[in-house]
Chains A and B, each alone.
Chain A
Amino acid sequence: MSEITPELVRHLAHLARIDVTEQEVERFSEQLALIVDSAATLKVAVGEDIPATSHPIPMQNVFREDVVQPSLSQESALSGSADAESGRFKVAAILDEE
């Protein structure tokens, strides 16, 4: 079973874009380890041939017509943002190219 190390927690926190203090890293490591260990029982319980269920009520082929619906106004779209300029959401500089 994989260990929940402080390093792993820091990595996960980075993946999730949440700053964490050293205290939190320690606390999360402990708590997560407990939860994860109890979850170890799951792997044992399921055989290879049990299919996964991602949707509790099976459904398929739900589509909509390709017909334009009213959009928000620009003002409304921007209304929740902390900062906007020339009709766009304004954010701090981006570190690296996608």
Chain B
Amino acid sequence: MSELIKKTAVEQLALLQSGEITSVELTKAHLDHIAAVDSSVHAFLHVNAEGALATAAEVDRRRAAGEQLPKLAGLPVAVKDNLTTMDQPSTAGSKILEGWVPQYDSTVVTRLRAELMPILGKTNLDEFAMGSTTQFSAYGSTANPWSLNRIPGGSGGGSAAAVAAFMSPVAIGSDTGGSIRYPAAMTGTVGTKPTYGAVSRYGLIALGSSLDQIGPVARNVADAALLHDVIAGHDPHDSTSLKEELGSMVEAASNQSLKGLRVGVIKELTGEGFQKGITDRFNESLEILKAQGAEIVEVSCPNFKYAVEAYYLILPAEASSNLARFDSVRFGMRVTPQGNPTIERVMSATREAGFGPEVKRRIILGTYALSSGYYDDYYGSAQKVRTLIQRDFEAAFSKADVLVSPTAPTTAFKLGEKLEDPLAMYLNDIATIPANLAGVPGLSLPNGLADEDGLPSSIQFLAPARADHRLYEVGAVLEREHENIWGKRMIDFAPEVKAGA
């Protein structure tokens, strides 16, 4: 493996800007590595070699001509396959969109292109982002680079694995109930879900419209901050897009001190439900924060215990409506049964063939939650629980500046486990879901290895809505301290994925 790709994005950018390396070199190094190891990891659904190199060449040309370039120009990036790209298929991990090349770019992709970042390709995900292990992808699962027979997390396992295995320095993910943060925890990488509305959803193939957010995936806090600054900002195409600017995350990540920071430990997200090794690492992180000047307080969010149930009513309801458009008429798969089928039959047969079991299950559940006679009991109640959870956050944030919990209840389990037990699967997101329900931002930071299995453990930070910068301020300091103690970066603990393994 080339040494170049093991560097941080910050380091790679410095080399690009000084002229020591070209973007074509950097991009090619990544493409070579993808070619070498992705057959084992399967992070990518589509590799955009030609397009990426073309962008890289353009950057090199302009840089050589002395032109002003955007900050991240020439830095490669991978994009989760539920964002539309005009020059590459966008499948959302589903057969129903196999080969679909969109007629427009998502706003985030437009910003990546404006930033002149070579797009290495589209990464794997659970079908329509429904899932927490990437095993529900219609195109096969992704392996965790730390241990190839384990889950990389989901739904954005592809982006996390790509970054963890050095196939891309940074990547774009989306998070509806934890789909950026949970894979980050599984793969020892950093992932942020911004405040709802901070990043435009235009062009994000919708799952839960009131829950979805796009965010950065990287190997460290500063790299994530770089990408965060590129993609965040108001978009007139998205009515839920925040009008105000939230400031620079890169600046926030340069923070040195935690003096006076109140850190709230969420009582309901610690203890029994969490693997001991993760709890141990969590407590150590708290000690470090305290040593750095933070004040640790305990907060209680009693309504969090309803979060998973509420989520699994709201999400399927919105998803059932968002996925209705996949009907064979304007795009995507079309299955025409024998005989002279009516359009109704064609639609039903297409959706039967094109959607996987988890998607079908959630659509039917969502249809149920919204049906007349059941609305009040299910969807209606869930939306009220949402209010309660927001109030819990409000109360907690009156006592603390950031909240913390472990990101995930366990380390990465084996591929194939829990597949027949949807309820058990849903509990993977127990710590991440509340933030999506309330719209507040969250960041997952790796904080060591669990003793039982030597697999990554992570800590999650949550901040009030619009205070995304606090995540980077505290994340940067904690990361620095951890790295000092380890004498290396978290990702250096990861075993190397052998070429053609």
Interface on A for B, CB 8 Å cutoff? 2, 4, 8-9, 12-20, 24, 28, 31-32, 34-36, 38-39, 41-43, 45-46, 50-57, 59, 62, 64, 72, 76-77, 79-83, 89, 91-95
Q: Which residues of A contact B380 (CB under 8 A)?
A: 52
B80 at the interface (CB under 8 A from A): no
Expressed in whole angstroms, the Cα–Cα distance for A72 and B102 within the complex equals 12
Q: Which residues of B contact A77 (CB under 8 A)?
A: 103
Q: Which residues of B contact A56 (CB under 8 A)?
A: 196, 210-211, 386, 390, 436-439, 465
Q: Which residues of B contact A89 (CB under 8 A)?
A: 329-330
B363 at the interface (CB under 8 A from A): yes
Bitwise, B101-127 to A at CB < 8 A (1) or not (0) is 111000000000000000000000000
Q: Contacts A18-B364, A72-B103, A95-B344 given: A80-B310 contact, CB under 8 Å?
A: no
**A57 engages B195 (CB within 8 Å):** yes
**B423 engages A42 (CB within 8 Å):** no
Expressed in whole angstroms, the Cα–Cα distance for A59 and B466 within the complex equals 13
CB of A38, distance to nearest CB on chain B (Å) = 6
Interface size, chain B (Cβ < 8 Å)? 72
Q: Contacts A46-B384, A46-B388 given: A16-B361 contact, CB under 8 Å?
A: no
Q: Which residues of B contact A62 (CB under 8 A)?
A: 239-240
**B439 engages A43 (CB within 8 Å):** no
Determine which of B197, B312, B324 lies in contact with A39 in the assembled complex, contact meaning CB atoms within 8 Å: B312
Determine which of A32, A36, A80, A92 lies in contact with B361 in the assembled complex, contact meaning CB atoms within 8 Å: A32
Known: A45-B381, A51-B387, A80-B103. 7 other contacts (CB 8 A): A2-B374, A17-B348, A42-B313, A53-B386, A55-B210, A81-B331, A92-B345
**B103 engages A18 (CB within 8 Å):** no
Closest to B310 in A: A42
Q: Contacts A2-B374, A80-B103 given: A18-B368 contact, CB under 8 Å?
A: no
Q: Contacts A51-B387, A56-B196 given: A42-B351 contact, CB under 8 Å?
A: no
- Interface segment among B53-61, B129-137, B214-222, B333-341: the answer is B333-341
A-B contact pairs, 15 of them (CB 8 A): A14-B348, A15-B367, A16-B351, A19-B351, A41-B306, A42-B313, A50-B384, A52-B383, A53-B384, A59-B197, A62-B239, A81-B331, A89-B329, A91-B343, A93-B343
Determine which of B102, B309, B334, B383 lies in contact with A41 in the assembled complex, contact meaning CB atoms within 8 Å: B309
Q: Which residues of A contact B327 (CB under 8 A)?
A: 17
Determine which of A53, A59, A80 lies in contact with B383 in the assembled complex, contact meaning CB atoms within 8 Å: A53
Q: Which residues of B contact A42 (CB under 8 A)?
A: 306, 309-310, 313, 378, 381-382, 385
Q: Which residues of A contact B385 (CB under 8 A)?
A: 42, 45-46
Q: Which residues of A contact B360 (CB under 8 A)?
A: 18, 20, 24, 28
Q: Which residues of B contact A41 (CB under 8 A)?
A: 306, 309
**A20 engages B387 (CB within 8 Å):** no
Nearest 6 Cβ contacts at the A-B interface: A56-B439, A80-B331, A52-B383, A19-B352, A82-B334, A46-B384
Q: Which residues of A contact B386 (CB under 8 A)?
A: 52-53, 56
B377 at the interface (CB under 8 A from A): yes
Determine which of B310, B343, B364 lies in contact with A94 in the assembled complex, contact meaning CB atoms within 8 Å: B343
Closest to A76 in B: B103
B320 at the interface (CB under 8 A from A): yes
**B332 engages A46 (CB within 8 Å):** no
Expressed in whole angstroms, the Cα–Cα distance for A93 and B385 within the complex equals 44
Expressed in whole angstroms, the Cα–Cα distance for A17 and B195 within the complex equals 34
Expressed in whole angstroms, the Cα–Cα distance for A90 and B102 within the complex equals 19
Expressed in whole angstroms, the Cα–Cα distance for A4 and B196 within the complex equals 34
> Which of the listed residues B100, B330, B382 has the most CB atoms from chain A within 10 Å of its own CB?
B330
**B303 engages A16 (CB within 8 Å):** no
**A57 engages B336 (CB within 8 Å):** no
**B346 engages A52 (CB within 8 Å):** no
CB of A69, distance to nearest CB on chain B (Å) = 10
**B371 engages A45 (CB within 8 Å):** no
CB of A21, distance to nearest CB on chain B (Å) = 8
**A54 engages B465 (CB within 8 Å):** no
Q: Which residues of B contact A43 (CB under 8 A)?
A: 377, 381
Closest to A83 in B: B334
Q: Contacts A15-B371, A53-B383, A62-B239 given: A38-B423 contact, CB under 8 Å?
A: yes
**A91 engages B346 (CB within 8 Å):** yes
Expressed in whole angstroms, the Cα–Cα distance for A9 and B360 within the complex equals 11
Q: Which residues of B contact A95 (CB under 8 A)?
A: 342-344
CB of A32, distance to nearest CB on chain B (Å) = 6
**B368 engages A36 (CB within 8 Å):** yes
**A81 engages B367 (CB within 8 Å):** no
> Which of the listed residues A13, A41, A46, A72 has the most CB atoms from chain B within 10 Å of its own CB?
A46
Expressed in whole angstroms, the Cα–Cα distance for A69 and B302 within the complex equals 48
**A91 engages B329 (CB within 8 Å):** yes
**A12 engages B382 (CB within 8 Å):** no
Q: Contacts A35-B365, A52-B380 given: A19-B349 contact, CB under 8 Å?
A: yes
Q: Which residues of B contact A19 (CB under 8 A)?
A: 348-349, 351-352
Closest to A55 in B: B210
Q: Which residues of B contact A83 (CB under 8 A)?
A: 334
**B313 engages A39 (CB within 8 Å):** yes
